[in-house]
Structure 1
């Protein structure tokens, strides 16, 4: 029931389309049953045999044409209504998933690989809508196309109806396991083809090293092993197909022959007439097609349930926890950032920080150093509230963080990382996200302050210049200039720099460091950097080692110790 309620919540705005699809599905199924009955009457009219309807020959032909048109129109309406409901369903489901993930706290979304998550949102919603498109009218249609012809055939002869039904079901059961094996091996073949593609791409991506290390033969052998596996699976798949397809034909022919045989006996002893015989044969064909599709529907129901469980898994990735971070007895200093960590770990097993206290005065510029994996960037995530503490608290200028990932709290910060994220669009679009109320003049001013005069001269259309996805048309320095301009537009209280010069050319670092020097004046700054031209902006150094503070003092003292060591 929860699955039906969940799906209906996405298409409730299109109730009319849903009702129309169901109504015309019933109409189409009834028309399919009516058509053989009219053929029966037409044959009996030609043979001057017993009639149920008192229609003339021309009236029966007109009725057949009308029923044919009704079937065609009904199916056209069904397909269109399916499309409306399926598109509404997939749109709303995608929107729900995207809205949910964008509103989830950062420490939840960071657990998912972005490309994998985007693929799941796109692919799972498409598959759900595709299964619904197939099921909600076709399942009903095939159900009616089994029941209707069976009843119509039973009115001709109950034994004939039972025989036809039993033969179709039996032959379907015999051929279905092999058909299922074909589907299984087709999926395996897709996996092996993907692996082969991956091996080829991997080999070609490091072709230079392959040639330098003279490992061409080993690469050929590695690719050939993957290629051989694909060939073997293709042959196994072909073997099952060579059995499945002929067996499917045989199943259909066997049930048809059974109906022709028993129907012929009934015709010869006068139990039924020729019109009944033709109608029974047609009903068997209708029933046979629907029963064969019916087993596929059952597989699709199982697939749909599995897909919906995957969607529920995504939507349920975050369960709000009303537990607030523990507060100190008194609020922190009104002129300092206080980070009090009793314990912090990502997985509740490996403790990253324990009993660590950091206090940063307003307007102070602090450099955080330490070996890789010591949690320097994690401190940024903790102070911004993107990653909640297991035990402890964060206080900024007297205000204690009690709601992780709070937008109001995040407004205090401006962050620049190793690579500035660029969205596909204009330069204006890329600056507008920093402050939606900023004017074009303010954007140009921010770019100039960030050292972007050359960038503005380079882009012919200025702020309206188009930028490719991920900023591929820009250099690393130009992307960082846009990131710095965003900070000028946001005007945050606290600046966080995480290795901002990593991907800059050496010739660009000096000018970029000068732009940083301008923006940090009067700001509270936390920075992570290995570049002397950047970390000389700091006044104080905190070194993290094995989850504790190993050094906390002036920059000059730290530099003196570093030279000594």
Structure 2
């Protein structure tokens, strides 16, 4: 008996942490159309791996179906009954050869179905990952990284058994059962009918269990998603957890989520396990019927001993595929639950759609225009109200304002991470909705406050901005932004390995790498979203010097709370609650003594207080 943690009730109070994952049980009937859609991933292998596996399966199945007839009808009723020793010897040799063929067939079947299954899993995971990468930011806003990982890893892994063994085993069991039924009725319709009378009862009970079992496996997937989400969150936030000495509470919370996961598995396995004992009971009933009614038919002269022996062999063989089909059905239920969740993501359409006749925006100049733009993340939350602004080619434009004023939203619209609810965002006079997404984003670089560093070398991380760049070009970009100094001090210089998020680097060093990455990409438009917020004063001086070279000839949008970083901007837009309050150069806005003046004044008063 599993001991439940005492803190279970306490843990449940915090489970709302996972409400944003949108992982819910999908209440639909068993959908064979969807299963057929899943099986279509086998199509590329229907002329190579699949035929070999099917032929190998048929060889071993035909051998198994043929041997009982040879033993019962030929060996017992003819060879032994008539004392025909040569015939008996020939039968023994023939059966041995048949079993050798069966062994070869089984070996080939196992080999090729495993190769087939692994290829299908590879294709499916690649398709899902590629599709998720193309989805819009709104999709990721409402889901945790952990819940997405569960779909790509766990849910697809749960299909592995189906593709490596399940499909071929299903075909083999159907062929086996069909062959056995035909042979049994051919040998003795009366005895066959008596034995198989229990099948309708089995079918009725199994159908009653379907919905319940399928829902249990769906619940398993949901609990795994929550467990994965919490693990991802805990590992990413380990420094915060340790800073507040919350290791104990976090471990208790994990124990509760882990217990829920264990309970869901136990429930699903318990319900699934009901199939096998029921099949074994059916086997026992069939055996009793065979012995009782078969003996009666022998005494009546309706069948001979060889037929009875063949029936015994076939009866033992009959319940084996029935049992496997029961387990196969559980496998199908698991696959159905997983495939529903996988196809839910695959059916997700990007909110930012690309038109079929979209044009490539080549040789971008960088002239940006917002024409009566309104944008809302949802119906209750309007982020921008009727925004009209112009950013001329080569200008450095700053966006300032309080948190939530709409600065980052404007940057996201320029990169076309979202589309405006009303109005149009234009670059070089072209509505971004009329241009291909890649052609827009390939000419825009974004540097964020929270710089993401990938696992790999320093060289690889800078080259991420332009994979075709040479080593010399990477080093030159690093030198321009002032990153070369600290890189040279690392043990292996540019070949130094950094783990995910670059934890061996300081915040300032990570930011310098992001600037080098942006410079190497050679964008026409550069967006700096609080890019200097995490940098110390000394590093900021380096950055300011590097920015003069980085911004030259490019349209730049700088979002900053630290107003000292935007003094040299050509134009400054002051936003409040999604509206533009005023705009102009630093000196013009200071002379107006409006909102910008008050922001600068408040910031300098804060510095004086320090």
TM score, norm. by length of structure 1: 0.82
Quick check: 1:259 aligned with 2:309?
Answer: no
Q: 2:598 aligns with which of 555, 561, 564?
A: 561
- Cα deviation 1:461-517 (Å, max 9, x = unaligned): 333333323323322222211111122222323221101133445664443344334
- 1:312 offset after TM fit, Å? 4.1
Name the counterpart of 1:393: 424
Change in 2 beyond 3 A, CA 1:506/1:37: farther
**Whole-Å Cα distance in 1 between the matches of residues 58 and 279 of structure 2?**
28
Change in 2 beyond 3 A, CA 1:323/1:280: closer
**Whole-Å Cα distance in 1 between the matches of residues 343 and 268 of structure 2?**
34
**Whole-Å Cα distance in 2 between the matches of residues 180 and 105 of structure 1?**
34
Q: 1:352 aligns with which of 377, 380, 383?
A: 383
- 1:175 offset after TM fit, Å? 7.6
Change in 2 beyond 3 A, CA 1:92/1:388: same
Asked if the contact 2:155–2:221 (Cα under 8 Å) also holds between the matched residues in 1, the reply is: no
- Cα deviation 1:154-212 (Å, max 9, x = unaligned): 23311111122223553575588679978876876887799799999979985775789
Figure out how many residues of one structure are paired with residues of the other and give that number.
551
Change in 2 beyond 3 A, CA 1:102/1:490: same
Name the counterpart of 1:488: 519
Quick check: 1:19 aligned with 2:51?
Answer: yes
Quick check: 1:31 aligned with 2:72?
Answer: no
**Whole-Å Cα distance in 2 between the matches of residues 122 and 225 of structure 1?**
23
- 1:136 offset after TM fit, Å? 2.9
Change in 2 beyond 3 A, CA 1:437/1:271: closer
Q: What's the C-alpha RMSD, in Å, of the aligned pairs?
A: 4.2
- 1:235 offset after TM fit, Å? 8.9
Change in 2 beyond 3 A, CA 1:564/1:20: closer
Q: 1:91 aligns with which of 93, 98, 122?
A: 122
Q: 2:75 aligns with which of 28, 32, 42?
A: 42
- 1:284 offset after TM fit, Å? 0.9
SS of the residue corresponding to residue 374 of structure 2 reads: strand
Asked if the contact 2:375–2:384 (Cα under 8 Å) also holds between the matched residues in 1, the reply is: yes
SS of the residue corresponding to residue 385 of structure 2 reads: strand
- 1:443 offset after TM fit, Å? 1.5
- 1:21 offset after TM fit, Å? 2.0
Name the counterpart of 1:277: 308
Name the counterpart of 2:443: 412
**Aligned positions of 1:143-292 closer than 5 A:** 143-168=174-199, 170=201, 206=241, 209=244, 248-292=279-323
- Cα deviation 1:365-424 (Å, max 9, x = unaligned): 222122323321110121223322233223334555343553333343222111232222
Structure 2: 5+ residue stretches without partners: 1-32, 359-364, 603-610
Asked if the contact 1:175–1:244 (Cα under 8 Å) also holds between the matched residues in 2, the reply is: yes
Q: 2:578 aligns with which of 547, 554, 564?
A: 547
SS of the residue corresponding to residue 48 of structure 1 reads: helix
Asked if the contact 1:93–1:125 (Cα under 8 Å) also holds between the matched residues in 2, the reply is: yes
**Aligned positions of 1:311-390 closer than 5 A:** 311-318=342-349, 320=353, 322=355, 336-347=367-378, 350-390=381-421
SS of the residue corresponding to residue 81 of structure 2 reads: coil
Change in 2 beyond 3 A, CA 1:42/1:18: same
Asked if the contact 1:168–1:252 (Cα under 8 Å) also holds between the matched residues in 2, the reply is: no
Name the counterpart of 2:499: 468
Quick check: 1:527 aligned with 2:564?
Answer: no
**Whole-Å Cα distance in 1 between the matches of residues 322 and 408 of structure 2?**
60
Asked if the contact 1:45–1:57 (Cα under 8 Å) also holds between the matched residues in 2, the reply is: no
Asked if the contact 2:147–2:229 (Cα under 8 Å) also holds between the matched residues in 1, the reply is: no
TM score, norm. by length of structure 2: 0.76
SS of the residue corresponding to residue 561 of structure 2 reads: coil
SS of the residue corresponding to residue 423 of structure 1 reads: coil
Asked if the contact 1:367–1:528 (Cα under 8 Å) also holds between the matched residues in 2, the reply is: yes
Quick check: 1:63 aligned with 2:100?
Answer: no
Asked if the contact 1:90–1:126 (Cα under 8 Å) also holds between the matched residues in 2, the reply is: yes
Name the counterpart of 1:330: none
- Worse overlay, 36-45 or 185-194: 185-194
**Whole-Å Cα distance in 1 between the matches of residues 426 and 217 of structure 2?**
58
Quick check: 1:433 aligned with 2:470?
Answer: no
**Whole-Å Cα distance in 1 between the matches of residues 555 and 217 of structure 2?**
60
- 1:553 offset after TM fit, Å? 2.9
Asked if the contact 1:178–1:244 (Cα under 8 Å) also holds between the matched residues in 2, the reply is: no
Asked if the contact 1:413–1:492 (Cα under 8 Å) also holds between the matched residues in 2, the reply is: yes
- Worse overlay, 168-177 or 236-245: 236-245
SS of the residue corresponding to residue 317 of structure 1 reads: coil
Change in 2 beyond 3 A, CA 1:88/1:225: closer
